[in-house]
Amino acid sequence: MGTDHHAAPGSDTKELPPVQLLLPTSWQPPVAVGGKGIYITLEDGREVIDATSGIAVTCIGNGHPVAQEAVKAQIDKLDCE
């Protein structure tokens, strides 16, 4: 079949779990399970500051009541049947 041009020469990417295709290391990214204000709670219980942002993303915090109500209002407009 075709050659995987994104893989290192001589490597067999078909045997690697998806996360190891992107991060070929034993390090696992943290998993967020909650958040409030500027903090994100990780699955191991640690709270860290949510300092992420980008060109098209504005960090407005987690769980802000205005944002929650806007999301709820939008969800109520969807018909998922």
Residue 24 lies in a domain: no
Residue 54 lies in a domain: yes
Q: What is the pTM of this model?
A: 0.50
Distance CA 6, CA 21 (A): 10
Residue 6 lies in a domain: no
DSSP, residue by residue, 17-55: -HHHHH--SS-----EEEEEBTEEEETTS-EEE----BT
Residue 53 lies in a domain: yes
Per-residue pLDDT of the chain (81 residues; tens, 9 = 90+): 444 445 555 555 566 555 556 656 777 888 999 988 888 899 999 999 988 766 666 667 788 888 889 989 999 998 776
Domain coverage including residue 42:
29-77
State the total domains in the chain.
Answer: 1
Residue 14 lies in a domain: no
Residue 62 lies in a domain: yes
